[in-house]
Amino acid sequence: MDTIAKRYAEALFALAKEENAVKTYQKDMEKVEDIFHDQSILQFFSHVAIHDEDKYQVLNQCLKGQIETYVYQFLLLLIKKRRIKYIVLICHQFQNLCYEYLGIQVGKVWSAYELSQAEIEKIQEAMSMKTNKKVLLKQAIDPSLIGGIKVEIDHHVYDNSISYKMGLLKQELLRK
């Protein structure tokens, strides 16, 4: 399943590079992922009892002119080849290829509460300086952190949470 998604994502990515439109295709694939993330939509386009022409017509009404022609044609191909059920995985693989190509590292920031966009941008900027690469962080809430933040980028964890510091303090006190 992953190999299928990877092959299709690599093919579309090669086309995006050839067209010098990696960022445009990336935005279009984000739209596609948002749409197909809905299980009922994915089931409709994956259902074998529904004729391909009907699927093409719905896709045409929803997306034609809103995304690049080749991305639209790519979706038609996935329907024709009965691979549309892999579209979310293909989108993930495609995003990873784009991030790698653009020199962006994607990570996650955990906090005990919701961070504002300005706070996330400050953390991204600080982590970009630390890693010497552009960093894009996605937020997650973890109330067990009590306070502070924990950031994971490329399997490196930078923990500046109160719960982590309390654990270090506990270890230090137990040693003495």
Same domain, 90 and 128: no
166: domain range?
A: 103-175
- Residue 21 sits in a domain whose CATH number is 1.10.520.20
pLDDT of residue 145: 86
The verdict on 94 and 111 lying in the same domain is: no
Q: Considering only CA atoms, which of 95, 80, 6, 94 is closest in space to residue 46?
A: 80
- Are 112 and 167 part of one and the same domain? yes
Please check whether residues 34 and 62 belong to one and the same domain.
Answer: yes
Q: Above pLDDT 70, what percent of the chain?
A: 99
Task: Judge if 52 and 109 occupy the same domain.
Answer: no
Same domain, 126 and 59: no
Q: What is the pLDDT of residue 76?
A: 94
Q: What's residue 154's pLDDT?
A: 84
Strands (E), the chain: 104-111, 134-141, 148-153, 156-161
Same domain, 18 and 70: yes
Please check the confidence at residue 134 and state whether its pLDDT lies above 90: yes
Residues 18 and 94 placed together within one structural domain of the fold: yes
Residues 51 and 127 in one domain: no
Residue 29 has a pLDDT of: 96
Last residue of a domain, which of 100, 130, 152?
100
- The pLDDT, as a whole number, for residue 1 is 57
Same domain? For 115 and 44 the reply is no
80 and 8 in a single domain? The answer is yes
Which whole number is the average pLDDT over 70-97?
95
The sheet that has 104-111: what strands, in order across it? 134-141, 104-111, 148-153, 156-161
Predicted local distance difference test score (pLDDT) of residue 147: 87
**pLDDT attached to residue 57:** 95
- Judged against a pLDDT cut of 60, whether residue 10 lies above it is answered with yes
Number of domains in the chain: 2
18 & 86 share domain: yes
What is the spatial distance between Cα 7 and Cα 5, in angstroms, rounded to a whole number?
Answer: 6
